[in-house]
Structure 1
């Protein structure tokens, strides 16, 4: 019996009569992209890193769509996949579309909130009065965003908690692509949420350290600081500090970190928007295969 495109050299070991013994170059590339994404996601802690991850996910789906256009792939999926496998794949793609849509909505709201705060600060330039109420409104909006994210993750996670690779090889590969995509979204959502800072335990000395481009972990390793976390921490300090000096310093720092946050959000937003189109394209390709 000849092995499937994802043969013994790949991560997937299912077998099929309908596909050649040697893996197609696209299969090898997909396998390499999956391994790279798994490794990169765990090490991502900054906006540039997440922009690269989304770009890697984009490249992965472009390869997947190219694979789905191959007649041998279409024949294999049409003949080998049973109803349960088809439903699993389609349900997984739908959950990913929902998660991608949530990411897009949350990033858009976060960008609008950051722009609003920047506009308020520009209008108040030279005015020593603080912007405590606006900071509270921003953090309240962030709280709503986190609830939306948690709801999306809860709805999505059950579909990817367990993955069986004992079916048709190409199907198993597509399910693995979906699982890794969910892992990327899960980590991206964690990055967007940042670390929630309580105003009671936040002091200006800590926030000043956080404003630097890098922080040092408990192991002594320097890592990029989360821009969402910076803004949350700073605004919690604005609410918790009443001195005029703290207000003036926080206003100046807020302008800087909000500009950086807006730039980071724009990069992430562009990546998520492009990925959303690719997810739709892949789902349509699979549906077209099944309808043949």
Structure 2
């Protein structure tokens, strides 16, 4: 999602909170160019939390409340409310995708521990259940991504009948929405995994090889895609020896994914609470 620099600015010297919002926006825009990894996604989520915390402080300023509470600005305040609802919906989509994957990972880890060295029928069944669940998650993500991209890029708010304060505030909050939606796209794309992948065994072989150089260079891996590949490989092995090796590899990848999910789940949950707080602030201004 492309970002556009706004020409409007707050009159006279910007309030420190406005400057802080700008700094967070700048950092998040810069992070879009970074490689997409679990650590970078968590960093972006943390940045969004800080940004929306500043936005809530901005909404508490008398200048902001007076500007948005004006009767002639009701249309734009309602539009911002609609935007806050879109942000909550997008965050909910990410929460659901993470939670569904987390539950399947835990079930799979449990069955691996119970069947280790024993009957593999139950394990194969659970693996297929996980892979089926992943397909459902990916379809849901594709729909959510389509909804995000379907949001039209609105032009900068400008009206000869509005004061500079109102114009600047509305445009600033629109920038926040645009940056937040862009981070959502990064998160959902990461959970979904690469659109096109090499064969499962090729991916697993590459992952095993990467362990040799892990101490020299940090691997920017997608834990979701690695587990998908490891499990696809596991279902394709017939001999007990090759399957045991695949089970061990799958278990290692599941542990990494579990840690990744934990970090992302915490980040998304904190962001969701902050978004609710911001929406309540907007509602209070409108109903004042």
- Measured against the shorter chain, the TM-score band is 0.7 to 0.9
Shift of 1:45: 2.2
Which structure's relative contact order is higher, taking Cα pairs within 8 Å and 6+ residues apart?
2
Whole-angstrom CA distance in 2 between matches of 1:235 and 1:262: 15
Extract unaligned runs of 5+ from structure 1.
Answer: 1-9
User: Which stretch of structure 1 is more off in the superposition, 127-136 or 85-94?
Assistant: 127-136
TM-score under structure 2 normalisation?
0.86
Matched-pair contact (CA < 8 Å) for 1:202–1:236: yes
Give the total of aligned pairs: 273
Extract unaligned runs of 5+ from structure 2.
Answer: 159-166
Equivalent position to 1:229, from 225, 230, 239: 225
Establish whether residue 148 from structure 1 lines up as the match of residue 140 from structure 2. Answer: yes
Whole-angstrom CA distance in 2 between matches of 1:245 and 1:66: 60
* 257 and 40 in structure 1: CA distance in 2 versus 1, 3 angstrom threshold: same
Specify which structure has the higher proportion of helix: 2
Equivalent position to 1:109, from 100, 112, 121: 100
Whole-angstrom CA distance in 2 between matches of 1:223 and 1:251: 22
Matched-pair contact (CA < 8 Å) for 1:197–1:232: no
Partner of 1:5: none
Matched-pair contact (CA < 8 Å) for 2:6–2:171: yes
Partner of 2:162: none
Matched-pair contact (CA < 8 Å) for 2:193–2:225: yes
* 232 and 122 in structure 1: CA distance in 2 versus 1, 3 angstrom threshold: same
Establish whether residue 202 from structure 1 lines up as the match of residue 200 from structure 2. Answer: yes
Deviations 1:126-154 (A, max 9, x none): 22736332221111101111111122222
Shift of 1:222: 7.0
Whole-angstrom CA distance in 1 between matches of 2:223 and 2:106: 14
TM-score under structure 1 normalisation?
0.85
Matched-pair contact (CA < 8 Å) for 2:234–2:250: no
Establish whether residue 120 from structure 1 lines up as the match of residue 121 from structure 2. Answer: no
Shift of 1:263: 1.1
* 207 and 80 in structure 1: CA distance in 2 versus 1, 3 angstrom threshold: farther
Equivalent position to 1:256, from 252, 257, 262: 252
